[in-house]
Structure 1
Amino acid sequence: MERMASVDAAWLRMEEPTNLMMITAVLWFDEHPDWERLKEVLRERLVERFPRFRQRLVVPEGLLAVPCWEEDPAFDLEAHLGHAVVPPPGDRDALEQLVSQWMSTPLERSRPLWQFHLVDGFGQGGALLVRIHHTIADGIALARVLLSLMDESAEEHFTPEPQPLESPSTPGWVKLLRGARAVASGTRAVWKRGAELIAEPIQVGDLVRGGARGAAALSRLALMPSDPPSVFRGELGTVKRAAWSDPIPLEEVKAMGRAMESTLNDVLLAALAGALRRYQEERGGTVEDLRAFIPVNLRPMDEPIPRELGNRFGLLFLDLPVREVEPRRRLRLLKQRMDELKRSPEAALTFGMLGMVGFAPLAVERAAVEVLASKGTLLMTNVPGPRHPMYLAGTKLAGLMFWVPQSGKVGLGVSIFSYAGKVTVGVSVDAGLVPDPHRLVIDFQDELRALASAASASATSSFPG
């Protein structure tokens, strides 16, 4: 039996019926995946490689009892694999309804906390619905795990691969990919040669600074007011809804950033702020500036994924300039605020706070989570994927979307995932607060168009409608 890390225990104890601590992903394919081959891939690359997928949760009784992991003596891979059917007409709306249903359904705690569903009836191909409890790992680690299941061709099957020596001049993205390639015990790549990441990750060293900067960040957290009431805040229910956009050409978004001296991430966040303004106006609510929780990976990306996985990330608190109407000014404000946060140790501080409350009495942890959750309105996650097509069990991956859980009274999550030259935006919402999540997605795309127009009045960008 293995004692659970305090941060992982914190995420376990945050779970409530109105906010399940579960990471959900959906992968879709133009052809139907081979079920038997998929099972063998999951056995070899998931279950045999990462022990957490064979272990069940044990929560002893007692005020000071510590949650633990233990090998499930009755572990059966088949019990974690299922089939689902998208109802007619089998389009994306129907798939979104199925994802929403499973997003609202808790995992069975008597066995390892994960489940894969092969989905039939979606278009001409199929889909794979993935649910994994947050206490197993954070979103970045699980994204790397999912990508480690894949190959670069339909015929390829992973084999151990020697690691090249690095020189001091080796580019950072190459080191990152080599670390991903070394998954667990030196086995094969998540992303191989030619793959690149589109995100600008915040370096761990930039987040763990002491002295006056650390004291200032701690003071900012302590004095930070709660986010104002808005159409996105209120009592949560147990029904969640998911929606996602058509793929957006990544190069067009990057071109906007270059034209306005901003990063790709700045552009996406500025479009999100504009979408939140549009949605508040459409719902007839008061337009308020809102604060977003931004997860920041604290695990070096040039190192292998640890076999025990776990959570190692902190949170940045980003004040979104939602009330600013003019797109270019909104982007400038957003960039200034994000640049300041990149130099802040805020993420490392929140990681330490979660570790401290992980084994505190439950009432203390819930009070701390409520205070923390009151500081923001939404969780925004940006996870990069490979630039080139990948194959799962011999079937080409057409697209992928994921959602991480919120906590406390936060009922809105926004996820961005890039893959094969496209970027997809997804939202997960509490159905009682945001009954029309597609409206948010449309507003986001409209704001990207407005930013494109601001970047170049003479050029037009063809974002999906």
Structure 2
Amino acid sequence: MERLASVDAAWLRMEEPTNLMMITAVLWFDEPLDWERLKAVVRERLVERFPRFRQRLVGTGGLLVAPYWEEDPAFELEAHLGHAVVPPPGDRDALEQLVSQWMSVPLERSRPLWQFHLVDGFGRGGAVLVRIHHTLADGISLARVLLSLMDESTEEHFTPEPSPREEPPTPGWRKMLRGVRAVASGTRAALKRGAELLAEPIQLGDLVREGSRGAAAVKRLALLSSDPATVLRGELGTAKRAAWSEPIPLEEVKALGRAMESTINDVLLAALTGALRRYLEERGGPVEDLRAMVPVNLRPLDEPIPRELGNRFGLVFLDLPVKEEDPRRRLRALKQRMDVLKRSPEAALTFGMLGMAGLVPVAVERAMVDVLAAKASLIMTNVPGPRHPVFLAGTKLAGLMFWVPQSGKVGLGVSIFSYAGQVTVGVSVDAGLVPDPHRLVSTFRDELAALASAAASPGTAPAPG
């Protein structure tokens, strides 16, 4: 028996019928998957390696008893591996409809909070739909977990990340102290890595170097206004919709970055901002600057994923210059704002707030979440995948898309995933607020073309003041 960590408890209690706290991923293949081999891979590399996938939560309905993990005495792997069928004609639109349906269905709380569906009838091969509750881990960790199921060829075994050494149970107060230290060490490691921004969209500055930065970040969070009323905000329903783009060549995005003296992530964010502008114009406005919540990984990517998984990330609030008409000026403004956020401890502060939220009464937590969520209109995630093709159960992975849940009253999520030299952009939306999510996806591609045109034109737009 192990008590649920306060940060993980926050995500459990955050769930509402209109915003399920569930991470969803879909993987598709050009050839059919071997069902028995898939089951063996999931058992070996998921269930046997990470205890959370065979544990259930107990005590989730009590006010005074903290939830805790325990081994599910009735655990059966087959109960978490199901089949689904994409209706004719079995194209991407049909797969998107299936994903959207399951995105609106909660996971069963009485057993381990995850499910895999082998999807038949899609294209020449098939697909796998994965649903995992955010309580188990954050999106970046779960992406690494899913990729640990992969092989580098049809036969060769992909070596899973080494398991950390087993340790005796740790007192709660010591876990809390260890968590605080982990946040600080994680951000220092991120600063040293200097990795490409696509690999980790935001690199944090040193949290303990300048206390004034922490004070400034607290002041900024406190003074952030609510995001303006647009067609992207409003009452949420239980129906969700998913859509994703055709793969975009990564080299195309890199070339734009070089031409515009910006990072890959700057270019992708500028395209997203322009896509939001186009969408708001098409829906009749108003066109307003919007704010995005961006998850920031606080766990060093060069360390093994702990067996107990868990959430170790914070959030930063990125102001998107949606009202800016010129693509080049929009990109420059975003680059400046990103550079400021990379040196800010804002993510660590929101991580601490999430930990506190998991300890207070549910009504207080929801009030805290609503206040934070009102400051943004969307959540944007960017997770890297392998640079070369990989295989699941002997079958080559053709593509992958994932979505993290939105919290509070946020009804739009945008995900960017890179794999084997391609970038795929996906959106998850509240069906009532955004009835046409494909327009957001297609306008993203249009904005990349607009940036390419701006990069090829002579002259340079003046930097925003």
**Residue in 1 aligned with 2:233?**
233
Count how many residue pairs are aligned between Structure 1 and Structure 2.
429
2:162 maps to 1:182? yes
- Contact 1:25/1:403, CA 8 A, preserved across alignment: yes
Describe the superposition over 1:197-224 as per-residue Cα deviations: whole angstroms up to 9, x where unpaired: 9424534554555411100000000011
The one-letter code sitting in structure 2 at the alignment partner of 1:373 is A
- Contact 1:204/1:299, CA 8 A, preserved across alignment: no
Q: How far is 1:285 from its partner? A: 1.6
Give the direction of change, closer, same or farther, for the CA distance of 1:354–1:159 in structure 2 (3 Å limit): closer
**Residue in 1 aligned with 2:10?**
10
- Contact 1:148/1:183, CA 8 A, preserved across alignment: no
- Contact 1:207/1:347, CA 8 A, preserved across alignment: no
Q: Secondary structure in 2 aligned to 1:414?
A: strand
**Residue in 1 aligned with 2:47?**
47
333-342 vs 209-218, greater mean Cα deviation: 209-218
2:110 maps to 1:110? yes
Taking the aligned partners of 1:51 and 1:199, their CA distance within structure 2 comes to: 28
**Residue in 2 aligned with 1:224?**
224
**Residue in 1 aligned with 2:318?**
318
**Residue in 1 aligned with 2:193?**
none
The one-letter code sitting in structure 2 at the alignment partner of 1:257 is G
- Contact 1:414/1:427, CA 8 A, preserved across alignment: yes
2:388 maps to 1:408? no
- Contact 1:26/1:129, CA 8 A, preserved across alignment: yes
Give the direction of change, closer, same or farther, for the CA distance of 1:242–1:222 in structure 2 (3 Å limit): same
Give the direction of change, closer, same or farther, for the CA distance of 1:255–1:199 in structure 2 (3 Å limit): same
Taking the aligned partners of 1:315 and 1:61, their CA distance within structure 2 comes to: 28
Q: Secondary structure in 2 aligned to 1:291?
A: strand
- Contact 1:182/1:303, CA 8 A, preserved across alignment: no
Q: Which runs of 5+ in 2 are unaligned?
A: 167-195, 459-465
TM-score (norm 2): 0.90
Q: Which runs of 5+ in 1 are unaligned?
A: 161-180, 187-195, 459-465
325-334 vs 203-212, greater mean Cα deviation: 203-212
Q: How far is 1:65 from its partner? A: 2.0
Q: Secondary structure in 1 aligned to 2:246?
A: coil
**Residue in 1 aligned with 2:171?**
none
Taking the aligned partners of 1:390 and 1:88, their CA distance within structure 2 comes to: 28
The one-letter code sitting in structure 1 at the alignment partner of 2:213 is R
**Residue in 2 aligned with 1:444?**
444
Describe the superposition over 1:116-162 as per-residue Cα deviations: whole angstroms up to 9, x where unpaired: 000000000000000000000000000000000001100112458xx
TM-score (norm 1): 0.90
The one-letter code sitting in structure 1 at the alignment partner of 2:327 is P
Q: Secondary structure in 2 aligned to 1:296?
A: strand
Taking the aligned partners of 2:222 and 2:76, their CA distance within structure 1 comes to: 47
Give the direction of change, closer, same or farther, for the CA distance of 1:247–1:158 in structure 2 (3 Å limit): closer
Give the direction of change, closer, same or farther, for the CA distance of 1:358–1:208 in structure 2 (3 Å limit): farther
Q: How far is 1:455 from its partner? A: 1.4
Give the direction of change, closer, same or farther, for the CA distance of 1:268–1:80 in structure 2 (3 Å limit): same
Give 1:267-346 correspondences, 5 Å limit.
267-346=267-346
- Contact 1:243/1:441, CA 8 A, preserved across alignment: yes
2:370 maps to 1:390? no
**% identical aligned pairs:** 83
**Residue in 2 aligned with 1:370?**
370
The one-letter code sitting in structure 2 at the alignment partner of 1:102 is W
- Contact 1:199/1:265, CA 8 A, preserved across alignment: no
151-160 vs 224-233, greater mean Cα deviation: 151-160
**Residue in 2 aligned with 1:379?**
379
Q: Secondary structure in 2 aligned to 1:364?
A: helix
The one-letter code sitting in structure 2 at the alignment partner of 1:33 is L
2:57 maps to 1:57? yes
**Residue in 2 aligned with 1:253?**
253
The one-letter code sitting in structure 2 at the alignment partner of 1:139 is G
Q: How far is 1:417 from its partner? A: 0.1
Taking the aligned partners of 2:61 and 2:311, their CA distance within structure 1 comes to: 24
Q: Secondary structure in 1 aligned to 2:410?
A: coil
**Residue in 1 aligned with 2:82?**
82
The one-letter code sitting in structure 2 at the alignment partner of 1:182 is P
Taking the aligned partners of 1:209 and 1:82, their CA distance within structure 2 comes to: 50
Describe the superposition over 1:12-65 as per-residue Cα deviations: whole angstroms up to 9, x where unpaired: 000000000000000000001100000000000000000000000112554332
Taking the aligned partners of 1:202 and 1:209, their CA distance within structure 2 comes to: 18
**Residue in 2 aligned with 1:348?**
348
Cα RMSD between the aligned structures?
1.5
The one-letter code sitting in structure 2 at the alignment partner of 1:118 is L
43-52 vs 202-211, greater mean Cα deviation: 202-211
Give the direction of change, closer, same or farther, for the CA distance of 1:222–1:396 in structure 2 (3 Å limit): same
- Contact 1:207/1:346, CA 8 A, preserved across alignment: no
Describe the superposition over 1:48-83 as per-residue Cα deviations: whole angstroms up to 9, x where unpaired: 000000000112554332111100000000000000
Describe the superposition over 1:350-385 as per-residue Cα deviations: whole angstroms up to 9, x where unpaired: 000000110100111010000000000000000001
The one-letter code sitting in structure 1 at the alignment partner of 2:259 is A
- Contact 1:242/1:428, CA 8 A, preserved across alignment: yes
Q: Secondary structure in 2 aligned to 1:340?
A: helix
**Residue in 2 aligned with 1:165?**
none
Taking the aligned partners of 1:96 and 1:392, their CA distance within structure 2 comes to: 21
